[in-house]
Structure 1
Amino acid sequence: MKIVAVLLFTVSPVISVTINGNYSSFEPSPPETKLRYAMLDDVRLLANGLLQIGHGLKDFAVKTKRQMDDIFLKLNIFDQSFYELLQQTNAIKEEEKQLRKTTSRLQANNEEIKNLSLELNSKIKVLSQEKIQLQDKVWGLEEKLTKLFNIQPDEIQEHEEIVSLKNFGEKHANNLRYLLKVVQAQHAQFDKQQKQIQALEEKINNTGYQDDIQIAFPLKTDEAKKTHANTTARVQEYKNNATDCTWIYNRGEQSNGIYSIKPNRSKAFNVYCEMKTESSWTVIQNRVDGSLDFNQTWESYINGFGNLEGEFWLGLRKIHSIVDQADYILRIELEDWKANKRYIEYTLTMGGPETDYAICLTKITGNIASALPEQKEVKFSTKDHGNNTEGNTDCPDNYSGGWWHNECEETNLNGKYTTPTSKGKLERRKRGLYWKPHKGRSYLLKSTKLMLHPIEFENFD
């Protein structure tokens, strides 16, 4: 605008002089007029130069604005990437924190098991010395008896003191064998937890551990389908060879599913094998939704019932044929209606049909208090067979389902399947599926699983 005003101011006198002056074109122009024309040309030239500069500045401003927009866009992308990276870093730190907590807890458990093993080893040494002394005494008495029988074979009878000493020696020998089993089971558990700690420490120390943060490795969907499809083939492959699921696992099979096994002195039958990380378990009971009635007869509990791919009871006869081969661990996995999962493991000895398949348990490890009788033989009973409770009450009939009953209102994992009330508590009149520790309240259960695994003697020198 200023340039236009200057131009108008300069041109106006020139136009005025031209109009008011002499109209004769033959007269020469005075010097003043030439000067004014020269100034007008200079102004025009200046105006054109300024206009070009204005256009250049405009183009520069537009180009600069585009560059600034690109810079702001890149800054926004950088801010978003930085925020996502910060979130991932926080998640990794939290996972590392959880791993360190798990490692600390496992180390504490290992120390406890180690101390317990040392204590049991010292007790075994003492009992071994007592056993040796008793055996020496028994051998001395046997030699004396042999001499007496040689002298008076028709008149000599075993003295009550001798019989008592023999029984005492046999009792101590049985106690020693039982304690040895417990120590061996705890030693195996100690080695397993030690491996878990080493694996966790490797994950923590590994810079790329965030890509593999899962500790458990569940069976993939396609592998599960493949396992189900090839069940018949596997049954044929291991028929008359496998003694339990651990035998199958040690031959390289690591997929969950149904397999055929043939324990010693038994016919072949199918079982469900659950393959965990570095271990395998033979499932003997499974309850998940209450679709199967467990209030069955004695004959049904002996032979087994249900579907191995759903809810089932393997059968007392089959369970005994497995346990009778070696020393086994009984693992019980529990889940309540709030999705809390717990487990507990016992050493297990089991009698045959002449003892009503009585069991004797000793807790090894777990993250829940024991709710089953320990170091005491308890017989199995159903609504139509056996009545083994101390209160002389028919527990299988009143509380629904066959079990190793010691007292009524104890834990019964074959009891009636019930759902919790609106307050989440167990209704007493329903006598449901629950876990009741010796001290504390009962836990109403949504699912249970009982599994067997042999004690690994190769871990001991």
Structure 2
Amino acid sequence: MKAIVIVLIFLFCSTTPAKIEKESSPTHKVPEEPRSRFAMLDDVRILANGLLQLGHGLKDFVHKTKTQINDIFSKLSIFDKSYYELSAQTNEIKAEEEQLKMTTTKLQATNEQLKNMSLDMNAKINYVLHDKSRLQIKIDGLEEQLTQITQSQAKETEKTEVSALKELIGNQDKNIKELIKTVAEQHEQLDQQKNQIKDLEEKMNHGGFQDNNENMYVPKQMEAKVIRYLSRNATGVHLDCSDIYDEGERVSGIYTINPNGSKSFNVFCDMKTDGGWTVIQQRINGTLDFDQSWGSYEKGFGDLEAEFWLGLENIYAIIQHGDYILHTEVEDWKGMKRFIEYAFSMGNQESGYNVSLTPVLLEGVPNIITQQSGIPFNTKDHSTDRKRNASCTENYSGGWWYYECGEASLNGKYVKPKAEGKAERRKGIHWKPGKGRYYTLKATKMMIRPAEFEHLS
């Protein structure tokens, strides 16, 4: 562009001086010098060259301008596109704004409903609290009435028990009178036997002993029967459940016994398992906690028709007059029942109620003791043999005759088989030689009966 301007200025300067000089001096005529044709041709060439350069410059200018215009159009297209997108986004924002306004309106309406519901709930809660106070007053009144009814029933029960005791005493007196009569008859028989013995002695001196030998046998057999009867029922009461079974009772349940002159107490008699068993322990479903103190294990605890421990004092009162069999029955969580029987004897309180056990019958239950005597009973708060059983009472649950820690514990904690942790299952009811002390049992029953028991068919 600058080159074109320079050429134009050059052409203008080369042509205008002659004209100016001609016009400025009209009076003086200067003779024109003839110009050469070649000089004019040079001017034409210079002009043509300048025009050519001007054309090239214009072409470049047009090309650059076209490029700039295309860039401008491209930018305008991008601008139009951005403007369209902004317009679309603006429309979307407006739509979302309208939706937000509608949602806000709905939320305000919902908030009002919640406020109303909250007010209704508060009113209902106040009403319920009022009813609760009224019901509590009624419950207090009913509890007072129930207490009065219970007291009155207790008095009636005491009257019933007194009448039953009177009846029992009357029956005992009747039995004692019959026994006295029987004893008198036995004295008469003994007198007759003495006379017969004298006669026999005299006949022996005369060689008549052989003829009267049979007459002497029958009174001895009768005397043996009378002695056995007096040893079991001389007081007119029941020593244990085998006595009750001998009298013809066949219904399992709670009965009253009075063994060896001790105070009367109730026991549960099992008349089904071969009959005449006195139950001393029973576990069914874990409703009773057997982790009790020494005093509780001495006196007994629980419900005779559910889970219970009869009591060491009561067990000793029953078995001290003879040899007994201990029948131990266990049931696993699959419903499989097994039992084992031991020849069983137990010492008094001073000996720690130690037991002596000799296995006599095994029915699917492994034996934990081959033959052992003098095993004391221990609880967590009382250990007769601290040297041997201290760790047993600390690591296991419930009172038991611990021969070896973990061998068996039928008074342990009621633990289901899916309980987590060996320490927890170790405290459970178990019989180790079976499936180990970590395999807990579902149910147990311990029963005693005289070793020479002859039940009626």
Q: Give the number of the structure whose alpha-carbon radius of gyration is greater.
A: 2
**TM-score normalised to structure 2 length:** 0.46
**TM-score normalised to structure 1 length:** 0.45
